[in-house]
Chain A
Amino acid sequence: MNARIALSALICVWATSALPQGYAGLGTVAEGFAFPQQETRLEFPLDHGPHPDFRIEWWYLTANLMGEDGADYGIQWTLFRSALAPGEAESWQSPQIWMAHAAVTSEDQHLFAERIARGGVGQAGVQSMPFEAWIDNWVMRSSDETIEKISLSADGRNFSYDLALSADGPLILHGDHGYSVKSASGQASHYYSQPHYQVSGTIELPDGPVKITGHGWLDREWSSQPLAEDQSGWDWFSLSFGNGEKLMGFVLRSETRDFTSGTWISADGTAEPLTPGSFQATPLKTSHVKGREIPTRWQVSLPAKRVSVEVQALNPQSWMGASFSYWEGPVTVTGSHSGKGYLEMTGYE
Chain B
Amino acid sequence: MTAAAFLAILSHWRRHPLQLATLIAGLALAAGLWSAVQAINAEARASYARAAEQLGTAGVARLIPESGTISVARYASLRRSGWQLAPVLEGVIRFERQNFDIMGVDLLQHPLAPALTKAAEAEAVSPLEALLPPGRIFAHPETAVHLAASQNVHPVTETEALPPGVALADLSLASRLLRRPDSLSYLLVLPDQAQGLKPLSDLAPGLTLVPASTAASETARLTDSFHLNLTAFGLLSFAVGLFIVQGTIALSLEQRRGMIRTLRSLGVPMRLVSGLIAAELAFLALAAGIAGLAGGYLVAAVLLPGVNATLAGLYGAPVDGSLSLRPGWVLSGLAMTLGGTFLAGAQSLFALWRMPLLAAPATHARGQNARRSHLAGAVCGVASIAGGVLILTMFQGLISGFAFLGALMLGAALLLPLLISTGLSLGARLAKRPFAEWLWADTRAQLPGMSLALMALLLALAANIGVGTMVSSFRLTFTGWLDQRLFAEVYVTTASDVQGTELARWLDAQGIKALSRRYHDTRFKGAPLRIYGFEDDTAYRSNWPLLDALPDVWDQAVSGQAVLVNEQLARRHGLAPGDRFELEPGWQLPIAGVYSDYGNPHGQAMVSMPSLLEHAPDIPNRQFGLRVASHDISGLINSIREEFDIPRKNITDQATAKARSLAVFDRTFVITAALNLLTLGVAGFALLTSLLTLWNQRLPQLAPVWAMGLTRRQLASAEILRSLILAAFTAVLALPLGLVLAWALLSVINVEAFGWKLPMYLFPLDWLRLFLLALLAAVIAAALPARRLSRIDPAELLRVFTNER
Query: Which candidate, A85-93, A253-261, A304-312, is the interface stretch facing chain B?
Result: A85-93
| Distance in Å: Cβ of B109 to nearest Cβ of chain A | 6
- Selected from A91, A116, A155, the residue in CB contact (under 8 A) with B82 is A155
Tell me whether B363 is interfacial, beta carbon within 8 Å.
no
- Assess A2 versus B111: contact at CB under 8 Å? Given A85-B132, A121-B72: yes
Per the CB 8 Å criterion, the residue count for chain B at the interface is 38
Pairs A–B under 8 Å by Cβ, sample size 15: A2-B110, A3-B108, A5-B113, A9-B126, A9-B128, A13-B128, A84-B128, A84-B131, A92-B170, A92-B172, A95-B131, A116-B108, A122-B76, A134-B80, A136-B82
Of chain B, the residue at the smallest CB distance from A139 is B80
**Does the CB pair B107–A6 fall under 8 Å?**
yes
**Does the CB pair A12–B79 fall under 8 Å?**
no
| Distance in Å: Cβ of B428 to nearest Cβ of chain A | 82
Tell me whether B181 is interfacial, beta carbon within 8 Å.
yes
**Does the CB pair A92–B128 fall under 8 Å?**
no
**Does the CB pair A12–B121 fall under 8 Å?**
yes
Give every chain A residue within 8 A of B114 (Cβ-Cβ).
1-2, 5
Give every chain A residue within 8 A of B79 (Cβ-Cβ).
117, 123, 136-137
Tell me whether B106 is interfacial, beta carbon within 8 Å.
yes
User: Which A residues between 69 and 124 are near B, CB-CB below 8 angstroms?
Assistant: 84-85, 90-93, 95, 97, 116-118, 121-123
Give every chain B residue within 8 A of A91 (Cβ-Cβ).
72, 175, 181-182
Alpha-carbon distance between A93 and B109 when the two chains are bound, in angstroms: 16
**Does the CB pair A13–B126 fall under 8 Å?**
yes
Of chain A, the residue at the smallest CB distance from B116 is A5
Tell me whether B572 is interfacial, beta carbon within 8 Å.
no
Tell me whether A157 is interfacial, beta carbon within 8 Å.
yes
The 3 A-B pairs of least Cβ separation, nearest first, read A122-B76, A137-B82, A92-B171
Alpha-carbon distance between A1 and B84 when the two chains are bound, in angstroms: 13
User: How big is chain A's contact interface, by range?
Assistant: 20 to 34
Alpha-carbon distance between A116 and B84 when the two chains are bound, in angstroms: 10
Tell me whether A231 is interfacial, beta carbon within 8 Å.
no
Alpha-carbon distance between A283 and B501 when the two chains are bound, in angstroms: 69
Of chain B, the residue at the smallest CB distance from A93 is B172
Interface membership of chain B positions 165-182, coded 1 if the CB is closer than 8 angstroms to chain A and 0 otherwise = 000001110011000011
Give every chain A residue within 8 A of B171 (Cβ-Cβ).
92, 118
**Does the CB pair A6–B132 fall under 8 Å?**
no
Give every chain B residue within 8 A of A10 (Cβ-Cβ).
128
Give every chain A residue within 8 A of B133 (Cβ-Cβ).
93
- Selected from B110, B129, B132, B194, the residue in CB contact (under 8 A) with A160 is B194
Tell me whether A17 is interfacial, beta carbon within 8 Å.
no
| Distance in Å: Cβ of B590 to nearest Cβ of chain A | 34
Tell me whether B122 is interfacial, beta carbon within 8 Å.
no
**Does the CB pair A121–B192 fall under 8 Å?**
no
**Does the CB pair B181–A90 fall under 8 Å?**
yes
Alpha-carbon distance between A2 and B76 when the two chains are bound, in angstroms: 18
Alpha-carbon distance between A8 and B77 when the two chains are bound, in angstroms: 27
Give every chain A residue within 8 A of B194 (Cβ-Cβ).
155-157, 160
Alpha-carbon distance between A177 and B117 when the two chains are bound, in angstroms: 42
| Distance in Å: Cβ of B788 to nearest Cβ of chain A | 76
Tell me whether B75 is interfacial, beta carbon within 8 Å.
yes
Give every chain A residue within 8 A of B18 (Cβ-Cβ).
none
Alpha-carbon distance between A236 and B79 when the two chains are bound, in angstroms: 33
Alpha-carbon distance between A155 and B107 when the two chains are bound, in angstroms: 23
Tell me whether A16 is interfacial, beta carbon within 8 Å.
yes
Alpha-carbon distance between A160 and B82 when the two chains are bound, in angstroms: 12
**Does the CB pair A136–B181 fall under 8 Å?**
no
| Distance in Å: Cβ of A246 to nearest Cβ of chain B | 34
Alpha-carbon distance between A156 and B127 when the two chains are bound, in angstroms: 27
Alpha-carbon distance between A2 and B110 when the two chains are bound, in angstroms: 7
Give every chain B residue within 8 A of A6 (Cβ-Cβ).
107-108, 113, 117, 127-128
Alpha-carbon distance between A137 and B133 when the two chains are bound, in angstroms: 30
Alpha-carbon distance between A123 and B109 when the two chains are bound, in angstroms: 12
Alpha-carbon distance between A95 and B171 when the two chains are bound, in angstroms: 12
